[in-house]
Structure 1
Amino acid sequence: MSLGLLTFRSFIRSPIIANNSNKLLKSLRRHYSQEISQKADNKSNLMEPKELRFPLPYGHLAAKEWGNPNGLPVLAVHGWLDNSGSFDPLIPHILKPHDLHVVAIDEPGVGLSSHKPPGSEYGRWHTVLEMKRVIDHLKWKKCTVIGHSQGGHYALLFGASYPDLVDRVITIDIFKPLTYRGDKWAKKVSKITEIHMKYENFLNEDPSRDSTAPVYSERDALKRMMEAHGNSLNEESARILMKRGTKKQKWGLSFSRDIRLKVPSLDPPPTDDQMTKFMAHLNCDLMIIMANQTPYHIPDDIKHMYYDIYRNHCRYFENVNLDGTHHLHMNDPIPVANHINQFISQSLALQLTPKL
């Protein structure tokens, strides 16, 4: 054994040095343990949503945020009368593969967002405006938009309106934006007008606050929630939506959505001929996920019109059919998430491919 090694061993066997070495080791263990714990907490925190509020001229838009704020920006938009809780089951399964930063909004009039002012209506394009406000507030230069049902309608409209801002659109159980036959619209206007006025009178002085909303037991509220969605929600999914969609009253629960959302807008709806021309402005990557139990059945000739538009104008277009009801992304999120993850991977790979 060398003299140097003997000297070193003698050195660390010294009571004073040994004691200091033990202290150093304990300190290092504590430091690395705290660092590992902090990293684990940070990862866990990214999986848990945070509440956000965006200022509006008439109040605020509530939202939930998941993931890394420096990650790939994703705006999620829910369906009619739902809320941002619609994405609670899905988001944890799509966050990690591509380090996403997801912001899911409560559309105006539902969830924790403000209702429109007295005398207002909820137009066919109103959510597109709020989506742009949110994106501007977040200072996103590019983003992905995921929309379920009516939220998919808005996602497609937004993608066509801002082709330089939207990299990809993913719709869940909606194939095309909502349209209407022009020859039927004139007969609807007077009826819709009367319903608007009836609701305003019903809500007394402030039509944005449903002060006379019925109160239900939790069980009855759950039943009404499931029935109102055509039983496309399972009980667990319905309870998720109820967290943001109801408010506690003295004797039970009332639904917090603005009842004016039940009234069709007076904005003239586009026809399919007009809408296909508008959709020709899409140039993002597009994925459409349809449920085999969808309530939306489109005539084949109309579907082919949109299919041709998507195939010819989108850089990458994928259409997937999955087992499930209209709320398949809530009831059975993993198959939906798997396809979304594969789609984003393919889309990102295409972005890295040099153009010929």
Structure 2
Amino acid sequence: MPVTPNKLKRTSMVLVGAAVAASTIASMALPASAADESESHAAPGGYTVKSFSPVGNESAPDDITRMGNSVYVSFQNGVGPLGEPSATGITASTVQQFSLDGKPGKSWQVTGKVDGLTADPEHHRLLLTANEDGNSSFSTLNPDQAKPLATYTYSGLTHGGGTDAVSVVNGKILVSASAPVDASGPAAYSVALEGTTAKLTPLFSDNATAKAANGPQTGKETTLALTDPDSNTLVPAAAPRFKDSFMLDAQGDQQLIFASNPGNGKQTLQVLSVAQPLDDTVFAAHSNQTLLVTDPKDNKVFSVTGPFKAGQAVSTVVPDAGPAYLANLDLSTGALAPIKELAAIHPKGLMFTDGAEDNSKDGKSAGE
């Protein structure tokens, strides 16, 4: 995944236009096959699952976020992690807008593989990163502007790879430093947009010192050796542990890094080890929120209602062998309990949201 440090090729992001198509939201119950669509009804365990599909030929849905009464999904369309064309020659991802009940709205074609997508409601814009392994760039997208897409070239990208997930935490834009060339560079950056430049400042390094949050070394300091920074998100105040922290998932390392007071002099780190590699992890801010899930295998987006509790952590587990699955994450032990009632979904991107107007300051999924 590495590229030569400090030689970042600017990736042009191109607006092709808005595509609006008619589509009908389908409903289904699990654990029947995720491809089988039927009338909405309660599934085992009190879950109800609805699905909505791509508008056209988009494929491989990844990150998902919400702004206002719209949901936005990045479809990567087979584009490679350095922005390489797909097997059919596609070079752009699709960012597709949906209403909360799945009706399609506008769409935008963005050159490269869109890995990070989150909402910045305060500025009424989406934040995007492209190409996780290198040739990476940053963009903003304001759906209501005549020229909605603005592209920025990175400065200060020193870890040798690309950028992945993006979050807004206390007004700061934070991105994962993916595909590092060694274990001494930044694991995450804060981003300042200045003119046409996205200026990066390291948040903490791959070999930073952190306190172990579980296991036999709990409470003791350890030196990190991160090789795979990936998803990130903000932990809500409702969580039983790590409240208001910025969470970075080091997927291949099977570790979650929690930074309290990220980006200031009071920043401290804790590391939670998990038994399986994780992609997105999200937290319910309160009870009865809806879980939105992208499923690249079935090429759908699922809306799941059910007995979710305030502070509950749900993860996409991506084992080395076998399909991805949804699991409840225990923030005390790092244990993962599969959600068997939702076993038919092959998850990737996750987001908890509400059914009403979203006025939150942080529209991040994880990983969005």
Q: Fold-level match, TM-score > 0.5?
A: no
Q: Give the TM-score band, short-chain normalised.
A: under 0.3
TM-score (norm: length of structure 2): 0.24
More strand by share: 2
More helix by share: 1
TM-score (norm: length of structure 1): 0.24
Whose radius of gyration is greater, 1 or 2? 1
